[in-house]
């Protein structure tokens, strides 16, 4: 039964209005196309009766059977090669009982044209109309069509040209704006440089004048001291000559004159020798100073691009701020008239060029060099930088006296204290208030607070379910400590109670945790999700900020100051962040770190880390490339390779507070005390 459509059905064909008399006659070619398009609704569905029962596609080359069913010619022929019946009714059928169905073919072609008209572009429809037979077009109509097409083409070409010109013009405007901005920036930078050159030249001349005045004053003092002694001696001799008897006046006078000549020669030669010695010493000192100056200039040129970027960044940021003397800024040379940016950069340049190498001043070897249990996982200075402790897979905390290590020549030093533990240790943290208290985290997830003097545990926290990688005491509240573990939990502890104070659940393994040195309310958490999560412990529902940039797990986080945070990752990079402005500051590259924990340590100006090449790298916080590096002895590595030790790596590093001295340890259990040197 035929389906009746209501007035609201979208499938109802639209009623075509009568053609107004003032509209020109549409050529039959377009009229046929338009009529075919209007005759089929937009959402019409192909009738199932028009589908071939065998291939279920629109019938192509329709053939009718004697039983009244229609199929594609190729479909029914292929079927009759295997069977002699109708696929629809199973009546006996042969090739001789197949007849062309011309009417169905005609209907199918019209249906196909209607379907094509729904999706085809006007050009395709035009092409289809031209291919249809029975639609005659006169030469005049074709001329009109060609004129329309030529005009359309000309208009499209003009629009395309206008678009291209507009795109080119926009590009040139953007380029001009960019170059003008660059020129303005360069002019501004040149003005900064000119002002700074004048300031530096002025202070340099002041220094030269002060040096000259000092040299003249020293020369005058030296001349006065050298001339007073001969005059005093001659006066004494003259006085003695006057009181002598008159009988001996001639002899005494002759002797006196002879002695005076000899004394004058002696004094003159002595004075000249002193001047020569002083000049040779000054020349030697000047030569040494000149050599140091040349070496420092070479370091500047080697890192010129990074230093240039550092200077311009500081100068632009602090362009209009005159230098204000601050007692807390120990590294900045305070000079009147200096811009803050220039003074800040001068301190960077001074500290950066001050050192060029790491010198070994002491070495400690922990037991058997070729035993894997000697790997040092953590090394830390105590509150006063007098003692340092080591821990690792040996299940022992060893405490050494730094002065004894430096003063005793032996390679194997005995620890002043030694504490045995139940499990391998991953991290140590000294309490900065109570000198004898140290915290440890181990492979069983236990966090322990120890008294180094009594070798006894004061508190044991066993809430972590997996290996605890990191532990840290708060600097501002010595009773608080924080730990992170492979159980994806960060726990905050208090030494006054047994249970954890706070618990932060995260989605990835925790590799490192660190308190902000200025407040016990803020912690930084490095995770295996490649991010650093910065938390305010007063609201742990979500982090204050998540620092993204590392491509692999974040293995260490350390604070240089209350606002500067350094991080290390197994993507072989270090990164510096501003936790106040939530901004990345710099990326450091040079060392190799792809799978091991190689250590990270910081001070006010420098960042140091280990490398899987058995080297220690030192970076200045303002320069992305290493300042210097030190490779652990090649002889040690050769000996280890002969014993099957394989490749070794740096496993722990630690700066001494406000000092160029650093502790380093590697996977062989070798500890070296290094110091930055010129």
Tell me: the pLDDT tens digits for 647-671? 789 999 999 998 999 999 998 889 9
First-to-final CA distance of the chain:
102
276 pLDDT band, cuts 50/70/90, is very low
Query: Could you give the strand order of the β-sheet that contains 468-473, starting from the edge strand earlier in sequence?
Result: 468-473, 480-485, 489-494, 502-505
Which are the contacts of 618, defined by CB distance < 8 A and separation ≥ 6?
Answer: 355, 358, 606, 607, 608, 626, 627, 628, 629, 662, 676
pLDDT greater than 80 at residue 672:
yes
Where does 57-117 show beta strands of DSSP type E?
A: 62-65, 70-72, 98-100
- pLDDT at position 180 is 95
pLDDT greater than 70 at residue 278:
no
Contact 309, 293 (CB under 8 A): no
- pLDDT at position 668 is 87
Task: Check: pTM over 0.75? Answer yes or no.
Answer: no
Contact 75, 54 (CB under 8 A): yes
Asked which of 80-94, 433-447, 450-464, 644-658 is least confident by mean pLDDT, the reply is 644-658
134 pLDDT band, cuts 50/70/90, is low
293 pLDDT band, cuts 50/70/90, is confident
> CA separation (Å) from 74 to 53, 80, 92?
13, 10, 18
- pLDDT at position 29 is 35
pLDDT greater than 90 at residue 568:
yes
pLDDT greater than 80 at residue 124:
no
- pLDDT at position 374 is 79
Asked which of 44-58, 81-95, 453-467 is least confident by mean pLDDT, the reply is 44-58
540 pLDDT band, cuts 50/70/90, is very high
**For a pLDDT cut of 70, what percent of the chain falls above it?**
75
**For a pLDDT cut of 90, what percent of the chain falls above it?**
51
Tell me: the pLDDT tens digits for 169-187? 999 999 999 999 999 999 9
Residue with tokens 């003008």: 180
Any alpha helices (H) in 594-646, and if so which ranges? 634-642
| Residue-by-residue DSSP string for 423-482 | S-EEEEEE-SSSTTEEEEEETTS-EEEEETTTTEEEEEE---SS-EEEEEE-SS-TTEEE
* Residue count (the chain): 678
- Mean pLDDT (the chain) is 80
Tell me: the pLDDT tens digits for 514-525? 999 999 999 999
Which are the contacts of 481, defined by CB distance < 8 A and separation ≥ 6?
Answer: 429, 439, 447, 449, 471, 472, 473, 474, 492, 493, 495
Higher pLDDT among residues 563 and 244, named by residue:
563
- pLDDT at position 15 is 37
367 pLDDT band, cuts 50/70/90, is low
Residue with tokens 């159980």: 487
| DSSP secondary structure code for residue 26 in this structure | P
**Burial per residue of 160-175, b for 16 or more beta-carbon CB atoms within 10 angstroms, e otherwise:** eeeeeeeeeeeeeeee
Higher pLDDT among residues 676 and 269, named by residue:
676
CA distance 463 to 471: 14
Asked which of 95-99, 339-343, 402-406, 582-586 is least confident by mean pLDDT, the reply is 339-343
Where does 537-625 show beta strands of DSSP type E?
A: 545-547, 554-559, 564-569, 573-578, 583-589, 600-602, 606-610, 615-620
pLDDT greater than 50 at residue 489:
yes
- pLDDT at position 179 is 95
- pLDDT at position 7 is 42
pLDDT greater than 60 at residue 438:
yes
pLDDT greater than 50 at residue 142:
yes
313 pLDDT band, cuts 50/70/90, is confident
Contact 443, 424 (CB under 8 A): yes
Q: How many CA atoms lie within 13 A of 593 on its CB side?
A: 33
Structure tokens at 229: 């002694």
Query: 3-state SS string over 576-592?
Result: EEECCCCEEEEEEECCC
Structure tokens at 40: 């089929």
Contact 341, 317 (CB under 8 A): yes
643 pLDDT band, cuts 50/70/90, is very low
pLDDT greater than 50 at residue 21:
no
CA distance 572 to 595: 9
Contact 245, 251 (CB under 8 A): no
CA distance 563 to 580: 6
Contact 33, 110 (CB under 8 A): no
């Amino acid at each position: 039964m035929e389906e009746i459509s209501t007035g609201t059905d979208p499938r109802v064909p639209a009623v075509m209005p009568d053609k107004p008399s003032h509209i020109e006659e549409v050529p039959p070619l377009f009229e046929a196309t338009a009529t075919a398009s209007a005759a089929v609704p937009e959402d019409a569905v192909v009738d199932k009766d028009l589908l071939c029962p065998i291939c279920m596609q629109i019938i192509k080359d329709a053939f009718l059977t004697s039983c009244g069913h229609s199929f594609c010619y190729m479909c029914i022929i292929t079927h009759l090669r295997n069977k002699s019946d109708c696929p629809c009714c199973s009546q006996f059928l042969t090739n001789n009982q197949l007849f062309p169905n011309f009417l169905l073919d005609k209907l199918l072609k019209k249906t196909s044209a209607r379907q094509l008209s729904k999706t085809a572009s006007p050009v395709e429809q035009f092409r289809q109309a031209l291919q249809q037979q029975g639609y005659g077009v006169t030469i005049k109509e074709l001329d009109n069509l060609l004129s329309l097409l030529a005009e359309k083409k000309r208009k499209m070409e003009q629009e395309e040209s206008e678009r291209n010109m507009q795109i080119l013009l926009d590009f040139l405007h953007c380029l001009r704006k960019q170059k003008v901005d660059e020129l303005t920036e360069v002019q501004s930078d040149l003005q900064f440089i000119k002002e700074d050159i004048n300031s530096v030249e002025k202070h340099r001349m002041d220094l030269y004048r002060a040096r000259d005045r000092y040299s003249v004053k020293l020369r005058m003092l030296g001349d006065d001291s050298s001339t007073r002694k001969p005059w005093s001696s001659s006066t004494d001799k003259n006085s003695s000559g006057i009181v002598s008897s008159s009988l001996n006046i001639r002899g005494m006078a002759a002797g006196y004159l002879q002695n005076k000549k000899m004394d004058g020669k002696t004094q003159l030669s002595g004075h000249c020798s002193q001047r020569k010695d002083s000049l040779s010493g000054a020349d030697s000192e000047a030569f040494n100073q000149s050599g140091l100056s040349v070496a420092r200039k070479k370091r500047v040129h080697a890192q010129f691009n990074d230093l240039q970027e550092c200077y311009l960044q500081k100068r632009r940021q602090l362009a209009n701020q005159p230098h204000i003397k601050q007692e807390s800024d120990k590294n900045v040379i305070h000079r009147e008239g200096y811009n803050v940016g220039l003074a800040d950069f001068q301190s960077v340049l001074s500290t950066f060029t001050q050192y060029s190498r790491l010198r070994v001043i002491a070495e400690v070897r922990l037991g058997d060099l070729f035993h894997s249990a000697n790997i040092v996982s953590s090394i830390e200075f105590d509150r006063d930088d007098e003692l340092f402790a080591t821990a690792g897979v040996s299940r022992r905390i060893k405490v050494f006296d730094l002065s004894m290590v430096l003063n005793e020549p032996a390679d194997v030093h005995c620890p002043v204290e030694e504490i045995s533990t139940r499990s391998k240790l991953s991290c140590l943290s000294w309490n900065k208030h109570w000198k004898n208290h140290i915290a440890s985290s181990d492979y069983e997830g236990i966090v322990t607070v120890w008294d180094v003097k009594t070798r006894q545990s004061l508190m044991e926290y066993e809430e972590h379910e997996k290996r605890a990688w990191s532990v840290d005491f708060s600097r501002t509240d010595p009773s608080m400590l924080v730990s992170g573990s492979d159980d994806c939990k960060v726990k905050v502890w208090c030494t006054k109670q047994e249970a954890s104070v706070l618990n932060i659940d995260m989605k990835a393994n925790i590799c490192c945790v660190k308190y902000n040195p200025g407040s016990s309310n803020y912690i930084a958490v490095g995770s295996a999700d490649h991010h650093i999560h910065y938390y305010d412990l007063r609201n742990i529902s979500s982090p204050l900020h998540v620092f993204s940039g590392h491509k692999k797990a974040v293995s260490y986080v350390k604070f240089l100051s209350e606002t500067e945070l350094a991080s290390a990752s197994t993507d072989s990079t270090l990164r510096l962040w501003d936790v106040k402005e939530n901004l990345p500051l710099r990326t450091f590259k040079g060392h190799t770190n792809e799978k091991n924990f190689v250590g990270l340590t910081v001070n006010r100006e420098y960042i140091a880390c280990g490398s899987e090449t058995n080297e220690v790298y030192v970076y200045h916080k303002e320069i992305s490339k290493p300042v210097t590096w030190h490779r652990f002895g090649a002889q040690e590595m050769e000996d280890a390779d002969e014993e099957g030790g394989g490749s070794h790596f740096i496993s722990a590093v630690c700066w001494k507070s406000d000092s160029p001295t650093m502790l380093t340890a590697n996977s062989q259990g070798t500890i070296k005390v290094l110091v930055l040197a010129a």
